[in-house]
Amino acid sequence: MLYYLIVCRSLTHAQRTAAALERGGITARILRSPKSIAGEGCSHSVKVSQRSLPEALRILQRAELSPKRIFITAGDGSYQEVEL
């Protein structure tokens, strides 16, 4: 199943992101960013389903929570960055 990972600058930022999405009715789960996408080392990401991304981006824009980077994955170890 395809899903997106919204990479956040900090755990607290990921928590704010997930909270905003949940309030907007989107299921969002915080997880440690896979090492291959973490960039500068440890970071946290918010996982959302493929179909939720457009609405998630609208919610985050309204909440002024701009994502650092977004990746799409099938959970098979490959990650492709999505242009914002």
Partner 1 sequence: MIYLDSAATTLQKPPAVARAAARAINHLASPGRGGHRPAMAASETAFACREEAAALFHVPSPEQVVFTFNTTHGLNIAIKTLVKPGSRVVISGYEHNAVTRPLHAIPKVELRVAEAPLFDQHAMTEAFRQALDQGADAAVCTHVSNVFGFVLPLEEIAALCRDRGVPLIVDAAQSAGCLPLDFQALGAAFVAMPGHKGLLGPQGTGLLLCSGEAEPLLEGGTGSQSILQTMPDFLPDQLEAGTHNITGIAGLLEGLRFVRRQGIRNIARQERRLIRRMGAGLACMAGLRVFLSEDPEAQAGVLSFLPEGRDCEELGELLGDRGFALRAGLHCAPLAHKTAGTLETGTVRASVSPFNQDWEVRQFLRAMEQLTGR
Q: Which residues bind partner 1 (CB under 8 A)?
A: 9-13, 15-16, 19, 30-32, 39-44
Nearest approach in angstroms of CB 30 to partner 1 is: 7
CB pairs under 8 A, 24+ apart, for 55-59?
Answer: 55/24, 55/26, 56/4, 56/6, 56/21, 56/24, 56/26, 56/28, 57/84, 59/20, 59/21, 59/24, 59/26
For residue 2, the SS3 value is coil
**10 or 61, CB closer to partner 1?**
10
**8 or 56, CB closer to partner 1?**
8
Nearest approach in angstroms of CB 35 to partner 1 is: 10
Nearest approach in angstroms of CB 49 to partner 1 is: 19
